[in-house]
Amino acid sequence: MKQFEVPSFYRSELITNIKNRRREEDKLKKDFTPTLLDYGNIQIYLARHFGFCYGVENAIEIAFKTIEENKGKRIFLLSEMIHNPQVNEDLKKMGVIFLQDTYGKQLIPFDSILSTDVVIIPAFGTTLDVEKKLRAKGVTIDNWNTTCPFVEKVWNRSEQIAKKGYSIVVHGKPKHEETRATFSHASAHTPTVIVNDMQEAERIGMYVTKQLDESDFYEEFKGRFSEGFDILKDLQRIGVVNQTTQLASDTQAISDYLKNVMVEFYQLNSDTVHERFADTRDTLCYATNDNQSAVMGMLEIEADIAIVVGGSNSSNTSHLVEMCEAKLTTYFIDAASKILSKNEIINRSWKTKSERIIGNFLPNKNPIKVLMTSGASCPDAVVEKVIERLVSFYK
């Protein structure tokens, strides 16, 4: 895989050596057992896969090169490049100005953009409407587009199945930048609707099978279906794609459920199912799969607590926290500074995003066993600092 030029201050010599050794010993990536860092009184089990993914490293490389090559110009970021507070703060310190917040709220009006300005597209991509506005201002956005190649793969797959007459169901968080971008690109080619979870997928299934009145659909999914969407005909042939940072198991479950709905309602078999349902399994992101599989492997260890490191609004990180919480006490932090002492930690809820201080978070045991992973937008250097902070409390 391509090696990217990422600033050294995001790297960790410790973790780089660990990852290189694991990669050499497990070239086919079939071993999802964690790596044990044994410090005596505290044992830290690092997930087999964690940290920067291909798309994030690609985005960071392009962004920092763009800043270096365009000194003297105004440089804008459409929104957060990735969901990591350290990286986004570093870009701000280098003079980069954010045009929108993570939910698409305008911070700087597009009218103020000049053709001589630089506008970087974040790793999540953006909508066709925003692209059109920037091009109309004379901005050559193709030069500074950091959209993840695996997000673009979803867009391409959507276009392919759209040409075959399928509508698109997008499994994603409706307000997330990537979901908004994918919805925009998919709906340019075919009727498209967004579902957030299995419960909403089941509602779609009930509309397909006429168990619900079609008129209710337009209110229930308001703001999440493409213009001109016709519930009576646009759910007769469908394919499912996803926001790449969703839980892979959730997307697969939604896809399997809707496929079974079509099979039963239209009385299809394995030879005819393609008449109503498109195969889109190849839109799942490899890094999301690897990181989630690594957490499953890590959770086989009998441990005391888990710590997940990453940005508060990082979707893929939140899902890792969700997975860990189902098994044991888990703490979600974005920096070593959130560990106040051996007795206190500032923990973030992955559901509400609120923070609160938790006391006595490290059990009084010897040795204490800690599981640890991080999100795809979290620098390894941050993880190393968390490890150093924990180890500092013990001999």
For residues 297, 302, 303 and 306, what is the CA-based torsion angle, rounded to 10 degrees? 30
Token readout for 101 is 């917040």
Q: Which of 281, 285, 305 is nearest to 373 (CA)?
A: 305
Q: Which helix (H) or strand (E) holds 261?
A: helix 248-265
| Cα–Cα distance for residue pair 345/13, rounded to 1 Å | 26
CB 5 within 8 A of CB 375: no
Question: Where does 173-245 show beta strands of DSSP type E?
Answer: 192-195, 238-242
What does the block give as tokens for 372?
A: 């640890």
| Euclidean distance between CA atoms 349 and 331, whole angstroms | 8
**C-alpha separations of 192 from 37, 248, 255 in Å:** 47, 20, 15
Which one is catalytic: 13, 178, 227, 322?
A: 178
**3-class secondary structure, 143:** helix
Instruction: Compute and round to an integer the Cα radius of gyration of the chain.
Output: 22
Strands (E) located in the chain: 35-38, 42-46, 75-77, 97-98, 118-120, 167-171, 192-195, 238-242, 277-278, 305-309, 330-333, 344-348, 355-359, 368-374
The encoded tokens of residue 370 equal 């800690």
Q: How many CA atoms lie within 13 A of 353 on its CB side?
A: 7
Catalytic site includes residue 69: no
How far apart are the C-alpha atoms of 308 and 318, rounded to whole Å? 9
Where in the sequence numbering do the catalytic residues fall?
178
